[in-house]
Amino acid sequence: MGLLARTRGVVAAIREDIDSAMERDVALRSRADAVLNAPGLHAVWSYRVAHAMWEGGGSLRTPARLLSTITRSVTGVEIHPGATIGRRCYIDHGMGVVIGETAVIGDDVLLYHGATLGGRDNDAGQRHPTIGDRVLVGAGARILGRVTVGDDARIGANAVVVRDVPAGATAVGVSAKILKP
C-alpha cells in the first residue's frame, strides 16, 4: 500500500473517530471542540500510534510504552499499547480509564470515565476482558479477568464484572448480576 493510500486511510479513520465522538457526547459543540477538547479521543489516537509501534516489536516496544505513559499523564487514560481496540471506540471524559495489555475491544464501544478492563492474575496469555461490538461500559465499572462481554451488552456504573456477560444483557452491581434483555 502506497503512502497516499495509507494517508487517506488514516484521515478517514480520524474523521470516523470524530463523527463517533460527536454522536455520543452531547457536550461537544463542534468537530473542532472534539479535536481540541476530548481527552478520550486523544488517548485513542495516541494508542493507535503506540499500538502500531508495539506490533512492530523489538526495539519499538519501549518507545510504545513511553508514548502510552506520556498519554496517561496528559489525558488520564491508560491504554497498554498491546491492547486491541476496534473502530469508533469513544472514551467519554476519560479520566481514570485503564485498558490492560491483552484486552480486546470491538467496534462502536463507549467507555465512561473510571472504567477498568483489567486482569485478575499474572498468568501468561489472555488475562484481560474481551468486549464485543456496541457495548456500553458505565462510569467506574470494573471488568476483570478473562471474561467476555457480548455484543450490545451494557455494564452499569460501578459494576464489578468477573464472569461472562451474554450479548444484549445488562450487568449491574458488585459482583455484577446479569439482567437478560
- Collapsing DSSP states into helix, strand and coil, what is residue 24? helix
Residue 132 is given by DSSP the state -
Q: Give me the catalytic one of 51, 93, 113, 128.
A: 113
Q: How far is CA 108 from CA 14, 89, 90, 121, in A?
A: 14, 5, 7, 28
- Grid coordinates 463507549 are at which residue? 110
Is 113 designated active site?
A: yes
Beta strands 170-172 and 177-179: pairing type?
antiparallel
Q: Taking the chain, what is the end-to-end CA distance rounded to the nearest angstrom?
A: 44
Active site residues: 113
